[in-house]
Structure 1
C-alpha cells in the first residue's frame, strides 16, 4: 500500500527500491541520522510533528523500521525515561523486530502499552499494536487495536488501510460481492467527514481484495485482464471516489496520506480503461508512480502510466 515516493538506492539491492519515507524529506534526513545513533534529531522531528496523528504515525513507523532503531531508542529512553516520544519510538521499533522474528510479540506488546500509558491521547502505540496483531495476532486483537486507534483519531489513515488489508484476507476462495471488507470500507467512508481522504477507502478495499484473490489464483494476475475492475461494484466505488476528488477543497498536497489515496485511485482508473482520469490523477501525484499495490514481473507500470498521461493529456 505504498504511495509514490522518491527512489533511493538500497545497499545490496539489484536496483532502486521504494523509499518508505515517501516525499517527507525531513523524515528521510532524520531516519538516516538515527541509523548513526543521533536520536536527538528524532526528538526534534517528533516535537515538530505535534498532534498531527497521521503524520506522527507515519514518521514513527518509518523510523521504527530501521535495523538499529531499537538500540538507539533504548539509549534515548535511558537518557530521558519519561519521554513519550522515546517510548513510542521504542514501541514501534520493537514491533518491527517482533515481525522479523528477532523479538517476542509479548515484549513488543509490553513496550506499546508502556508508550500508550505515557501518552494516553496518542494513537501511535495502538497503531504499533495493530501492525503487530496483523502479523502475529488474532482477529480479535486486530479489532481491539483498531478500535483504540479510532477512539483517539477517528480518521486515522494508516489504521484504516491496515484493517482493509486484514479483512480482505478473509475467505480467499472466491470474489464475494458481499465480502466484509467492502462493508467495512463503505462504513468508514460514510462515518468520515465529507472532506476526509477516507472517501477513497472503498477503492483501497477493492484493490486489497484483488491482491488476495490474485495471490490465491482466484483472479488473473494482470488486473486489466481480471475483470475485477469492471464490475458494477468497482464502477460505483471509483465513481464515488473520483467525484470526491473533483470536489475536494483541501490543499495539503505534502501530506503522504493524500498520495496514498490518489495512487490507489489512479491504478483503479487505469485498469478500468479510464485513461484520461487516471492520467489526471498521475499528474497530481507527481513524477514517481509506484508499482504498488500491484507488481508485474514483465511490465513497467510507471512507463505505462506515463504513456497514458502523454496520450490523454499531452506530454508535460
Structure 2
C-alpha cells in the first residue's frame, strides 16, 4: 500500500507528469476527496455502487492511504453495528496507518516506540478485518488486507499461504493478492529469489494470455534489482539477455496483449513496465509504455528512485524518448 501523502491534487512536474493517487480514475478521485473530508454518507454511497470484488478491494486500498480517515471511521463503525463496509475501511486504514508508523526504514533503524505503534495498529486491523470476513464470508477485501498485516506481524508461512489462498478462492487471478504474495516470497521477507521468480513465472504461465498477472514478472525483476541496491550490480542484472526477454514476453502476454482488460488502476502496471524497460536498457519498449501512460504517475515503482517520483518518471520518460529517436 502506497502512502497517500500529497493531498488530492496531482503533484505536477514542470512539463506535465503528475503523481496521481487516483491512477487517473475520476470516480476514485471523488471518493478520495470524500474520505479526506470525512463525508462517510457520500463515500458509503459510492462504495455501495462498487459491486465487483476486485474493484472494491482496489478502491479500499486507495482510501486506506488517506491520512485522517482514522479520526472519523470509528464513528461510522459504531453507527452501523451490523455492516461489514465501515469495518473494512477501518481495518484497511489501520494496516496502512501501521506501516506509516513503521516507515520504510530497514528493521534495524525502526525504534522500539515505532514498533509498538506499528503492532498496536495492526492488531486493531486484524480484529476488524476478521470480523468483516465473518459478517460477509464471500468478501475478498479482508483477505487481501490480512496478507499485508500478516507480513507486518511476521505471520508463519502456513498462515500466510492460507490468507493468500482464501483471497483466491473468492477471486481467482486477483492481481493485487498476487502482488502481495510476491512480496511475501521476497528474500527480504524470509523468502528467496528463486521462490519469488518461480511464483511469478508460474502464475503468468497458468493464466490466459491477456491476464494482468504478467506484471508479476516485471515486479520480481525490480525486486531483485532492489536487493542489489541498484548501481552497477543491479544494472548488470537487469541488462542480461534473459531478463530482457522475460520482460518482453511478460508485456506481450499482459499489457500489450489485445485481450488485456485494462482493469481499474491499469496504468500502475504500465508504470512498472516503463521503469523495468528503462532500467534494463530498452528505451524503445520503455517509450511505448510511457506513451500509453500519458502523464499519470503512480508512486510505485518510482518511489524506489531518488527524489520526487514525478521527476524520476520525467527523467526516464525523456531519456527513453531521446534514445529511441
TM interval, short-chain normalised: 0.7 to 0.9
Which residue in 2 is equivalent to 1:306? 317
Distance in 2 of aligned mates of 1:213 and 1:309: 23
Where relative contact order (Cα < 8 A, 6+ residues apart) is larger, the structure is 2
Distance in 2 of aligned mates of 1:123 and 1:251: 20
Which residue in 1 is equivalent to 2:259? 249
**1:90 to partner: Cα distance:** 1.8
Which residue in 1 is equivalent to 2:170? 152
Count residues in correspondence: 295
Match of 1:8 among 3, 7, 10: 10
**1:296 to partner: Cα distance:** 2.7
Structure 2: gaps (5+ residues): 102-116
Distance in 2 of aligned mates of 1:61 and 1:247: 27
Distance in 1 of aligned mates of 2:236 and 2:225: 10
Q: Which residues in structure 2 correspond to 1:1-316 (within 5 Å)?
A: 8=10, 18-51=19-52, 53-99=53-99, 100=101, 101=117, 103-140=120-157, 141-170=159-188, 179-214=194-229, 220-221=230-231, 226-244=235-253, 245-250=255-260, 252=262, 255-256=264-265, 258-290=266-298, 292-293=300-301, 294-297=304-307, 300-311=311-322
TM-score relative to the length of structure 2: 0.79
TM-score relative to the length of structure 1: 0.81
3-state SS of paired residue (2:256): helix
**1:91 to partner: Cα distance:** 1.6
Q: Contact (CA 8 Å) 1:34, 1:72: kept in 2 or not?
A: no
Distance in 1 of aligned mates of 2:83 and 2:299: 38
Q: Contact (CA 8 Å) 2:283, 2:324: kept in 1 or not?
A: no
Distance in 1 of aligned mates of 2:138 and 2:181: 21
Q: Contact (CA 8 Å) 1:9, 1:17: kept in 2 or not?
A: yes
Structure 1: gaps (5+ residues): 11-15, 215-219
